[in-house]
Amino acid sequence: MVEKQEEMKALLLKAKEEILAGISKAMKSGSETTTGEPTGDIYDQASSERDRELGLLLNDRERDKLRQIDEALLRIEDGEYGICEECEEEIPLGRLKVMPFARFCVRCQSEMEKLQAQTRRFEEDRAYREISFNEEEEG
Average pLDDT over residues 60-81: 91
Give percent of the chain with pLDDT exceeding 90. 42
DSSP-derived 3-state class of residue 79: coil
The type of residue at 32 is: E
Q: What is the pLDDT of residue 76?
A: 93
> Residues with Cβ < 8 Å from 111, sequence gap 6 or more?
86
On average, the pLDDT of the chain sits at 83
More confident residue, 5 or 70: 70
Average pLDDT of the segment spanning 32-44: 61
Q: How far apart are CA 95 and CA 108, in angstroms?
A: 13
pLDDT tens track for 103-112: 999 999 999 9
User: Model pTM?
Assistant: 0.64
